[in-house]
Amino acid sequence: MPIILMADIVKSSRRNAKALMKSFADAVGRVNRQHHRQIISPLTITLGDEFQGIIRNVPTALQLIFDLEELGMTANTPFQLRYVLLEGEIETKINTVKAHAMLGPGLTEARERLLAMKTSRSRFHVKIKDESRTEDLNLMFIILQGIEDQWTDAQKKIVPAFLKFDDYRKVAAQLKKDPSAAWKRRKSLMITEYNALQRLMMKTAGVS
């Protein structure tokens, strides 16, 4: 059963449309290039602030979400996305060039869920055939969002550096900060816990 990944920008109407759409399109293009071998139908911006795509498996879909979260933090015009990751049926032939002109109950359900999330605080929703893994991943996404929501806009700019380099001293050098200050910042941002949570989610999704 195909893995559908659909997302839209949170509060897009309150932002500078041109700059926001450029940052969004750049991020979508980048993850499509990085993960093209594991994407069946590339993430395609269907409206100005929304995309959909078909992914080969759940772990890749999760990695796309993690990557987009980081790209959204460091973009020239930062953004946050709401995501639906859903395993569902597509009745028409899958378009491997663009995620357009496809129909099926899976796509309908994903879109309905994404629309429903506009009135919810939650930014992540997973529904796959394995009900146990579905529940586990949704619970872990609640924790992940809880950690991210504690970060200020200024902190989000430096979080990806901490995620990239396990050694806080490398981050200190890159950011031209005192190593002691970088260590304290890493601790306060809960980078160790955030990394551990992402690894646990990938393991739950099927990556050993």
192 inside domain: no
Give the pLDDT of residue 195: 95
175 inside domain: no
Give the pLDDT of residue 179: 87
CA proximity to 74, closest of 158, 152, 170 = 158
191 inside domain: no
* Higher local confidence (pLDDT), 122 or 181: 122
108 inside domain: yes
48 and 12 Cβ atoms separated by less than 8 Å: yes
Question: Is 188 a residue whose pLDDT tops 90?
Answer: yes
63-76 tens-digit pLDDT: 999 999 999 999 99
40-62 tens-digit pLDDT: 999 999 888 999 999 999 999 99
Mean pLDDT score, 133-150: 98
CA 160 – CA 172 distance, rounded (Å): 13
Structural domain range at position 10: 3-149
Tokens representing residue 180 in the block = 């002691």
93 inside domain: yes
Give the pLDDT of residue 63: 97
Cα 12 to chain centroid distance, Å, stands at: 16
CA 44 – CA 171 distance, rounded (Å): 34
106-126 tens-digit pLDDT: 999 999 999 999 999 999 999
Quote the number of domains for the chain: 1
180 inside domain: no
Q: Which amino acid, residue 120?
A: S
Give the pLDDT of residue 165: 84
CATH number for the domain that contains residue 143: 3.30.70.1230
28 inside domain: yes
13 inside domain: yes
Give the pLDDT of residue 164: 87
Question: Is 208 a residue whose pLDDT tops 60?
Answer: no
Mean pLDDT for the chain overall? 93
Give the pLDDT of residue 176: 79
Give the pLDDT of residue 169: 85
Question: Is 26 a residue whose pLDDT tops 80?
Answer: yes
128-140 tens-digit pLDDT: 999 999 999 999 9
